[in-house]
A and B are shown apart, each in its own frame.
Chain A
Amino acid sequence: MSTEPPRQPRQEPAPTGPDFLRLVDRSEAGAVVSEYGTEIVSALRGGIDGSAGVAWVQGQSCSGCTMSFLQSDSPAIEETLSELRERVSFHSTLMEPSGDAAVDGLAEGPDVLIVEGAIPTRIPRAATLGVDEQGNPKPVLDWVIELGERADVVIAAGSCAAFGGLPAAGRHDSNEVGESPTGARGLQFDGEDPGGVFGPAFRTDAGLPVINVAGCPLYAEHLILTLATVLNGHGVALDEYNRPLPLFGPLVHDDCELREDYECFEFAAEPGDGGCLYDVGCAGVYAHCDGSMRLRNGGTTVCRNVGAPCIGCVEPAFWDRFSPFYSNTRDDDGTGRADPPDRPEAGGTDRNDGPGVAASLPDAPRSLPGIALACAMAVVLVPLAPLAPFVWLYDRHTDGGSIVRGVDRPSAEH
């Protein structure tokens, strides 16, 4: 576990192209990728100075995020790969070389490190890549620390790399459920708790924490927009879980196709029935993601639109917080409060016979639980790194409440 204090950001070249995430913030989900396809592809090609190397390393992953990345529609994955391959020095699913030639590409140290999958910290041997100097299988844990400390940008691709995901499931569950013995963690978070493989205070050479492009699997567009933005030399506005805010700001519930059913008290009693899926476990009221507008698979559809309740896959510790997945429980909103969220107001409809009482949508779990978690972490981490949580808290409260800003750079609008 590395908990060194933040380093001084080094001088970066001026941004070279649009700040795509900022554009996303001002437009409808999906609009930026369709309108700025050329600029995005050009960012992937040119980037900061045209030579930034990218490596994609897999820990305890299912490769689902890679497969999801392949579903990028605009820009088409053929274009994206074509531009990216010049700079991607390592990706074990997609690259041509194998063996040492493959690992050589890593040794140079990429400027941008993308990690997919959780990192086993208790049994590092549970995920290895190549061999170390002694000829023993080299843990991905060692690779990630080695490369992450030298990279300008570290991106956790998907919820496993971001928060521990499935291999960490069970450790944060209030129910008696099984867990993996491998000690899987995210890069800079362990579930909702700051501090994973890297300590809460970790910053890259460019002054950035690990950027969490959450999702199980991630949305291809989320990764491409984030990557294109950082390659253009821009900072990224992040939420309290270090997810790019423009992508993870809205609630899934906000723009859900079934929102009207919710407002009209039309609730499905079984998965597969018509109506809002809240009663059959939908986590859309707790999950932060623009997916209801952006949709999956090149804008085709998304889970709820075909009858499947949201499992909250973009949220830290979602396996523990939102399971059982087919019911909503007191754990789900992350505040541990006793009452499940209340029903919406029935105003505007003539259906007053719906279940529950009139009230408002539960508040998005944001600043308050964040502070609570920070305090809890402060206690947990005191013996290890007394200062780190305060640095983390300081970060949050000096910059727009619960928002952490990435490195401050002059903005360049195009």
Chain B
Amino acid sequence: MPEIEIDPTTRIEGHHSTTLSVADGRVVRAESEMNMFRGIESIVLGRRPSDVPQVTQMVCGVCFTCHRQASILAIEDAARRAGVFGSVPETGRLLRDIMEGMFLLWNHAIHLFTLAGPDYSDAVADTGFARLDPVEGDGYRAALDQQRRLLQGFSEFGGRAPHPLTYAPGGVVSDPDPETIEEVTETMAALDEWLGPTGELEATIERARDRRGPTDRAPGLYDVCSVLVAAAEEGADGFGVGPGRFYANGMFYGTGDESLVLPPGIYRDGTLTRPTREELVEGITEDVSHAWYTEDSGGSPGDSPPPEPAPEKPDAYSWGKAPRFEGDSMETGPLARLVAAERDPGRLRESLGGGRRRSNTFNRLAARVQELLLVREYVLEWLDALDPSGETTASWNDEFSGRGVGFWGASRGALSHWVEVTDGEVTGYQLITPTTWNLGPRDADGEPSVFEAAAEGIPVPDVSAPIDVMRTIRSFDPCLGCGVHVHGGGESFETTIEPHAPGGE
């Protein structure tokens, strides 16, 4: 059986490799390996609660807002339960929403153009979409410009990006004046124009299918639709099929009542439910049977100690743990969020992806495009509603004891931070990232992670170029070192992925 080892997986954030076993031209087993460990959950111990978001933010320079946000939510949750904190003022909460929203837009743009996009470009896959060609394509270059402008706008509130410093327990320390809000609104208006109306999705898909090129307005919409058209033509609705169970944390408080703009959801066995905080706290566990940690590093995140490395552990193959909800692996990400929100703008998933709740590589890309368009609308609304004279932060005191959990959404899926504070010091901390949900290792029962399951069955006609496997990995937008190796039967192949010269050179 041929053995393919793809290490490193490139165009993701961090270290990942994948081992695939191939038989009869198809993947029969995949092992997803995360190749980096830093020990963040140990580093935060003994620190003041208000310092912890600073540490956890640096978990990821790509998800740089959401780890700060989830950490703050966990600490605020703990303080609220301890009775020493009320709530973040509405303006502060809205300002966080705006920053989180702008971040998500930035991340989706980066992903669709620089990370996943090249797989569907003319230079890499002869798709006829030269605008997507890395570095040289007009679409790619426009996206680099847009992402930079977007973060310039973001930094008006955050002070810098990546790694803004203005979110803090209690609220947001920046207090933007009307001129600043106006400037950010102008930045968002430019993005809005680049992306074009959500209502033109279907028409633009048709345009891209005919390779007609963008109209003068909304070139961005044409380009993201090109990615989808190319993916559909490459059969991405038929590969990368996960177990079809979805988990989304709610995100965005918005301007309405207490319900979240994108609601939480668990979708299993054809049923969508809205989990409560308690159900999530009870249901989530981490399995370390195939991770390089000691056995007692797993269990319920509220009770387990920081992960203790065991790099020589037999049968382990990843630095990622295997999170489970009531024992099940769960897919998370924009697709899970839109399944939970019951949204399918432009009916993209229904008409091109085999159904709006189908788990496959196409639908993951489609949901990312849809979320890009939806959240753009939200951010514009929120900017309009932002009161420059409103309070942005409530007073905060680190001196308390208690436990809290912060549930939030990173652009790539459900994120949770779990904290224990004792007399003003952090004494316990766990964080569960979307990438471990999607690309973690097997659990004690040998049940594969979502990606490991999704990779099985993918045709690999040419073991030297398993591009559909790569497309599937990237469809999860992994944010961590992860690797893919293909092996089996003792036979081993030198994998060479041909470098694709940008611009068709």
Binding site for B on A (CB under 8 A): 58, 60-68, 70-73, 76-78, 81-82, 85, 92-103, 105, 118, 120, 123, 125-131, 137, 166-167, 169-170, 175-182, 184, 216-217, 270-272, 296-298, 300-309, 311, 319, 323-326
Q: Are B494 and A166 in contact (CB under 8 A)?
A: no
Please give the number of chain B residues whose Cβ is less than 8 angstroms from any Cβ of chain A in the complex. Answer: 91
Q: Are A77 and B494 in contact (CB under 8 A)?
A: no
Q: Are A101 and B144 in contact (CB under 8 A)?
A: no
Q: Are A73 and B311 in contact (CB under 8 A)?
A: no
Q: Which residues from chain B contact A100 at a C-beta distance below 8 Å?
A: 494-497
Chain B 142-175 interface residues, beta-carbon cutoff 8 Å to A: 144-145, 147-148, 151-152, 154-166, 168, 171-175
Q: Are A272 and B168 in contact (CB under 8 A)?
A: yes
Select one of B135, B147, B495 contacting A99, CB under 8 A: B495
**CB contacts between A and B, total, < 8 Å:** 278
Chain B residue with Cβ nearest A220: B148
Q: Are B160 and A180 in contact (CB under 8 A)?
A: no
Q: Are A325 and B309 in contact (CB under 8 A)?
A: no
Once A178-B46, A180-B39 are accepted as A-B contacts, the answer to whether A131 and B7 lie under 8 Å apart by CB is: yes
Which of A99, A217, A272, A305 is the most central at the interface, judged by chain B CB atoms within 10 Å of its CB? A99
Once A93-B11, A95-B11, A131-B7 are accepted as A-B contacts, the answer to whether A78 and B135 lie under 8 Å apart by CB is: yes
Q: How far is the CB of A95 from chain B (nearest CB, A)?
A: 5
- Offer 28 A-B interface pairs, CB within 8 angstroms, sorted by A: A61-B14, A62-B14, A62-B60, A63-B62, A93-B11, A94-B114, A96-B10, A98-B497, A101-B499, A102-B497, A126-B38, A129-B8, A129-B35, A166-B40, A166-B55, A166-B58, A177-B43, A179-B39, A181-B39, A181-B42, A182-B37, A182-B39, A296-B161, A298-B148, A301-B159, A304-B159, A323-B51, A324-B47
Q: Are B8 and A271 in contact (CB under 8 A)?
A: no
Q: State in angstroms the CA–CA spacing of A217 and B497 once bound together.
A: 32
Q: Are A169 and B43 in contact (CB under 8 A)?
A: yes
Q: How far is the CB of A91 from chain B (nearest CB, A)?
A: 8
B197 within 8 A of A: no
Q: Which residues from chain B contact A98 at a C-beta distance below 8 Å?
A: 6, 8-11, 470, 497
Once A93-B12, A129-B15 are accepted as A-B contacts, the answer to whether A217 and B163 lie under 8 Å apart by CB is: yes
Once A101-B497, A178-B45 are accepted as A-B contacts, the answer to whether A60 and B38 lie under 8 Å apart by CB is: yes
Q: Which residues from chain A contact B500 at a C-beta distance below 8 Å?
A: 96-97
Q: Are A64 and B163 in contact (CB under 8 A)?
A: yes
Select one of A81, A175, A217, A326 contacting B162, CB under 8 A: A217
Once A93-B11, A180-B43, A325-B51 are accepted as A-B contacts, the answer to whether A307 and B175 lie under 8 Å apart by CB is: yes
> Contact flags (1/0) for B46-89 with A, using CB distance below 8 Å?
11101100110011111010000000000000000000000000
Once A78-B144, A306-B166 are accepted as A-B contacts, the answer to whether A179 and B43 lie under 8 Å apart by CB is: yes
**Sample of 4 further A-B pairs with CB below 8 A, known A126-B319, A325-B54:** A63-B61, A92-B15, A130-B8, A170-B43
